[in-house]
Amino acid sequence: MHPIGHADETSRAMLRRRPYSDRLFAEIDSMILASESLDSILHFIVERLVTMYRYPLIQVSLRGPHGTVSIRAAAGREVDFLRDVLVRWDDTPEGRGPTGVTLRTGLRQTCDVATDECFAPWRERALKHDLRSILVLPLHAGDRILGALTFFSTRRRAFPTERIDMLTAVAAQAALSILSAYDHAKIRLQRVALDAAANAIVITDTAGLIEWVNPAFTKLTGYTAEEAIGLTPRILSSGNHGRAFYARMWESLLAGNVWHGELYNKRRDGSVYAEEQTITPVLDEAGVITHFVAIKQDITERKAQEEKIRHLALHDSLTNLPNRRAFDSMLKRILQRGGTAALLAIDIDDFKLVNDSGGHPAGDQLLSEIALRLQTQLRPADFLARLGGDEFVAILSAIPVDEALTIAERLRRSIDDLWIETVPDPIHATISIGLTMIGPGADARTYVSRADAALYAAKERGENRVITFPFESDDTGHRLGDATHWIGAIRHALRNNGFMLTYQPVIHLGNGRAVHYEALVRMIGEGGEVIMPDHFIPVAERYGLMSQIDRWVFDRVVHELKTRPALRIFANLSATSLNDESLLLYIEETIRNGGLPTGRLAFEITESAAVADLASARNWIHRLKQLGCQFALDDFGIGFSSLGYLRALAVDYVKIDRTFIRDLDTNPTNRALVQAVNTVAHTLGKEVIAEGVETAAHADVLRELGVEHGQGFHWGPPMHDALDAMTPLAVLSTGDIPRC
């Protein structure tokens, strides 16, 4: 490159071309106004310039990011020179040519092809095309370098000063044209984007008159652009929001703030929909508001889903009654409000016999019928909830004790008259009720404990009755005597190996094989009868004996694992055991000294136990997983509050509660919930076990949803000799034993 030389031609010829250049840019302006594309305009410019100045090659190069250069338009007989030519504007060999230097520095350049070293990469190719000299002019837009206009000539030193001045003026006009084309293209792109936006967009003036809407607005509201323009958004008012709501909105907007919120609006056909809306004030250069832009999104379906989830989070899926979470919240409000109320703990007598004789469908029918009857016997202001299983609770607000007793008796009698027609025999149910009065001086846990104690006394007095707390003297004596009996029986069983384990397989739904067994504890009565855990576990938990039972279960499971080297067994841990540090230390020491292969011993904790004491649950899981144990979260989904806690617990398996499985093949809501839990669990790297699988239809749906494992009566009940009877199915090869 070299300094620009003096003219050897007169400026008269240059001036003769001035009208042609003026006409050129007038035509360019027309193309811009007609929304022609930038490439069309650039090609038009170079073709006209070639016609006007007879150069063999003229190109327009635009500056791109990171040193890139785009040759956007070229014309002339030697245009083939540019084929596969690489030009850059950074400090690289391809960026040191005249075009690259101009794009980097913003200074015009001339170049002698034969002698200038900067053009060495392209010299041989250029000389073949008889290109001898080059002029590069920057295309400026203020301080911004848009690109470069490059002229090639077949003569050396072909660009005298007069010619350069003329072409510089042309380049300046071209830069303005390019900038205008950029702006028009940007506006056109923005318009296309607004028209194509999925969300409705409305532009109003400062008085709120609609000036523009996009097609999505018409789709959302039913109003066409012609109908809406000139009116105000009040045409969408549903009447669900008062004047104060809109006054606060306008106060915020007129202060220059962005407003964001949810509201209910009305479509042209009169239907109401939920809308999420963001309104942004548009300011001019002086900071004065000129317009408002509103972006609207239809959230009707989302609001319905949120409401459904809120309902599920606070209601029992079978009876549609409030659940334990809702009860805890209501009791808290009652205590905060003060006054007199009654708390009733309600339990179905011998409910397990109903499930055993009629199956779970009969049990579900009974629960639904009892829930309905209890509701009809309560006052409108009273509160009834199902806590789970066969447990209900009622809160009678603003009531004296004698009236509370009357209502409790009315509830009991209404169920005593209930018969459920089932095959082979009708089912007759009764309930027991424990009642305590709520007043000042105690907390929620105390009142619940009192009601439970009264319910327990009613059960021990023969069921189908109402007992109040505090007890009469004979009630107290009977209750304490009965508790003493169970405590003595549990301690005797602990001393004399009076417990037994039954085992239920967990089946891989893909191949039908047992992947592990769950150990379930039973007590052996004085006459050799098998006593189910719901008879002795509540007493053990209440009087601090549960961790000793869990220790007995653990020892027995370890013995079985040593006897049967290929099995995997899951043992249950109670909520009270999670607070027993000595039990945890004992389990850790036994595992370290027991020589058990990694992955064969696992534990189950219930969701309610984990959530009630998250810190203890995480401590047990962390320490025992370090020793190769696995964990399952049992009864998952009760209360539908579990997903947030699942992330915090490093369990390996999630066991979906049986209440979501029993009608999985007929209930689309439970199917959706199981699918959601399965998806979340897999996302968090956990496997899923479905409890309560009773039919082949249940198993088929679970396979379809991608659930890996199932457990339930479809493959058989828990059995004492299950490990012997099912060993051929359960034994795994060494390679099949999962590793932690």
Indicate the DSSP class of residue 438. E
Other Cβ atoms less than 10 A from the Cβ of 547: the count is 21
Q: pLDDT digits over 482-541, tens only?
A: 565 677 788 788 888 899 999 999 999 999 999 999 999 999 988 889 998 888 888 888
Indicate the DSSP class of residue 214. -
pLDDT at 193: 61
Backbone angles phi and psi of 203, in degrees to 5: -115, 125
Q: Which of 82, 115, 119, 116 is nearest to 100 (CA)?
A: 119
pLDDT at 11: 40
Chain mean position to CA 698? 27
The verdict on 610 and 683 lying in the same domain is yes
Judging by DSSP bridges, how do beta strands 272-283 and 259-266 pair with one another? antiparallel
How many structural domains is the chain composed of?
4
pLDDT at 21: 62
Tell me whether residue 580 is in a domain: yes
Q: Taking a C-beta distance cutoff of 8 angstroms, is the pair 150, 66 a contact? A: no
Please give the span between the terminal C-alpha atoms of the chain, in angstroms, as a whole number: 71
Q: Which three-class secondary structure state does DSSP give residue 653?
A: strand
Tell me the DSSP string of 693-708: --SHHHHHHHHHHT--
- Does residue 190 surpass a pLDDT of 70? no
How far apart are alpha carbons 506 and 654 in whole angstroms? 13
Question: Edge to edge, what strands does the sheet with 133-141 contain?
Answer: 69-75, 57-63, 144-153, 133-141, 109-112
How far apart are alpha carbons 390 and 431 in whole angstroms? 10
pLDDT at 740: 29
- Does residue 475 surpass a pLDDT of 60? no
Q: pLDDT digits over 208-241, tens only?
A: 899 988 889 999 999 999 999 999 999 999 988 9
The verdict on 259 and 407 lying in the same domain is no
Which residues lie across from 469 on neighbouring strands?
Answer: 436
> Between these two residues, 309 and 468, which has the higher pLDDT value?
468
The verdict on 146 and 212 lying in the same domain is no
Tell me whether residue 305 is in a domain: no
Tell me whether residue 513 is in a domain: yes
Q: C-alpha distances in angstroms, 264 versus 43, 203, 261, 267, 301?
A: 53, 19, 10, 10, 13
The verdict on 355 and 275 lying in the same domain is no
The verdict on 175 and 270 lying in the same domain is no
Work out the pLDDT band at 4, boundaries 50, 70, 90. very low
Tell me whether residue 479 is in a domain: no
Q: For the stretch 301-339, what's the b/e string if a residue is b when 16 or more beta carbons lie within 10 angstroms of its beta carbon? A: eebeeeeeeeebebbbbbbebbbbbbbbebbeebbeeee
Q: Which three-class secondary structure state does DSSP give residue 263?
A: strand
How far apart are alpha carbons 322 and 401 in whole angstroms? 24
Instruction: Quickly list H helices, 271-400.
Output: 300-314, 324-337, 351-377
Query: What mean pLDDT comes out for the span 681-701?
Result: 91
The verdict on 263 and 155 lying in the same domain is no
Tokens of 630: 């696995």
Beta strand spans in 660-738 (E): 687-690, 709-710
Backbone angles phi and psi of 686, in degrees to 5: -115, 150
- Does residue 350 surpass a pLDDT of 60? yes
Here the CATH number for the domain that contains residue 459 is 3.30.70.270
Other Cβ atoms less than 10 A from the Cβ of 692: the count is 20
- Could you give the angle at the alpha carbon of 100 between the alpha carbons of 98 and 102, nearest 5°? 70
Tell me the DSSP string of 137-205: EEEEETTEEEEEEEEEESSTT---HHHHHHHHHHHHHHHHHHHHHHHHHHHHHHHHHHHH-SSEEEEEE
Q: Taking a C-beta distance cutoff of 8 angstroms, is the pair 699, 478 a contact? A: no
pLDDT at 643: 62
pLDDT at 148: 94
- Does residue 328 surpass a pLDDT of 50? yes
Q: Taking a C-beta distance cutoff of 8 angstroms, is the pair 452, 434 a contact? A: yes
Residue in the block written with tokens 């900067």: 118
- Does residue 343 surpass a pLDDT of 70? yes
Work out the pLDDT band at 739, boundaries 50, 70, 90. very low
Instruction: Quickly list H helices, 229-297.
Output: 243-254
Least confident of 168-182, 296-310, 587-601: 168-182
Tokens of 311: 């309902």
Residue in the block written with tokens 């969300």: 199
The verdict on 490 and 404 lying in the same domain is no
Q: Quick one: what percent of the chain has pLDDT higher than 90?
A: 40
Is residue 681 within a helix (H) or strand (E), and if so which, with residue range? helix 668-683
Here the CATH number for the domain that contains residue 85 is 3.30.450.40
pLDDT at 61: 92
Here the CATH number for the domain that contains residue 577 is 3.20.20.450
Residue 221's domain comprises 197-298
Q: pLDDT digits over 546-562, tens only?
A: 889 999 999 999 999 98
> Between these two residues, 625 and 307, which has the higher pLDDT value?
625
Q: Taking a C-beta distance cutoff of 8 angstroms, is the pair 408, 466 a contact? A: yes
Tell me whether residue 6 is in a domain: no
Tell me whether residue 569 is in a domain: yes
Q: Which of 298, 327, 354 is the last residue of a domain?
A: 298
Q: Taking a C-beta distance cutoff of 8 angstroms, is the pair 654, 632 a contact? A: yes
Which residues lie across from 710 on neighbouring strands?
Answer: 507, 690
pLDDT at 281: 92
Dihedral in degrees, nearest 10, Cα atoms 72, 75, 80, 81: -80
Of these ranges, 170-174, 535-539, 577-581, 626-630, the one predicted with the greatest mean pLDDT is: 626-630
Q: Which of 595, 588, 606 is nearest to 651 (CA)?
A: 606
- Does residue 20 surpass a pLDDT of 70? no
Q: pLDDT digits over 51-91, tens only?
A: 888 999 999 999 988 899 999 899 999 999 998 888 999 98
Q: Quick one: what percent of the chain has pLDDT higher than 70?
A: 88
Residue in the block written with tokens 């007890």: 471
Identify the burial level of 245 via C-beta atoms within 10 angstroms of its C-beta, where 0-12 means exposed, 13-18 middle and 19 or more buried: exposed
Q: Which of 471, 500, 516 is the last residue of a domain?
A: 471
Radius of gyration of the chain (CA): 41
pLDDT at 614: 83
pLDDT at 704: 93
pLDDT at 359: 73
The verdict on 399 and 420 lying in the same domain is yes
The verdict on 220 and 333 lying in the same domain is no
Q: Taking a C-beta distance cutoff of 8 angstroms, is the pair 688, 509 a contact? A: no
How far apart are alpha carbons 384 and 613 in whole angstroms? 26
The verdict on 207 and 249 lying in the same domain is yes
Q: pLDDT digits over 401-427, tens only?
A: 989 999 999 999 999 877 777 656 677
The verdict on 508 and 643 lying in the same domain is yes
Residue in the block written with tokens 């028009």: 184
Q: pLDDT digits over 122-145, tens only?
A: 999 999 999 999 999 999 877 888
Q: Which long-range contacts (CB under 8 A, 24 or more apart) does 640-645 make?
A: 640/309, 640/312, 640/313, 640/673, 641/313, 641/325, 641/611, 642/607, 642/611, 643/677, 643/680, 645/607, 645/610, 645/611, 645/614
Tokens of 651: 């369990």
Other Cβ atoms less than 10 A from the Cβ of 298: the count is 20
Tell me whether residue 477 is in a domain: no
The verdict on 277 and 425 lying in the same domain is no
Is residue 535 within a helix (H) or strand (E), and if so which, with residue range? helix 533-542
Work out the pLDDT band at 196, boundaries 50, 70, 90. low
pLDDT at 642: 53
- Does residue 727 surpass a pLDDT of 60? no
Q: pLDDT digits over 278-295, tens only?
A: 999 999 888 899 999 999
Q: pLDDT digits over 617-660, tens only?
A: 899 999 999 999 999 988 887 644 456 677 778 899 999 988 88
Q: Which of 502, 456, 496 is nearest to 476 (CA)?
A: 456
pLDDT at 2: 43
Tokens of 735: 């390679």
Tell me the pTM: 0.41
SS3 assignment for 47-105:
HHHHHHHCCCEEEEEEECHHHEEEEEEEECCCHHHHCCCCCECCCCHHHCCHHHHHHHH
Here the CATH number for the domain that contains residue 245 is 3.30.450.20
Q: Which of 303, 296, 300 is nearest to 199 (CA)?
A: 296
Tell me whether residue 648 is in a domain: yes
Q: Which of 416, 436, 471 is the last residue of a domain?
A: 471
What's the whole-number average pLDDT of the chain?
Answer: 84
Backbone angles phi and psi of 216, in degrees to 5: -65, -30
Query: What mean pLDDT comes out for the span 591-612?
Result: 83
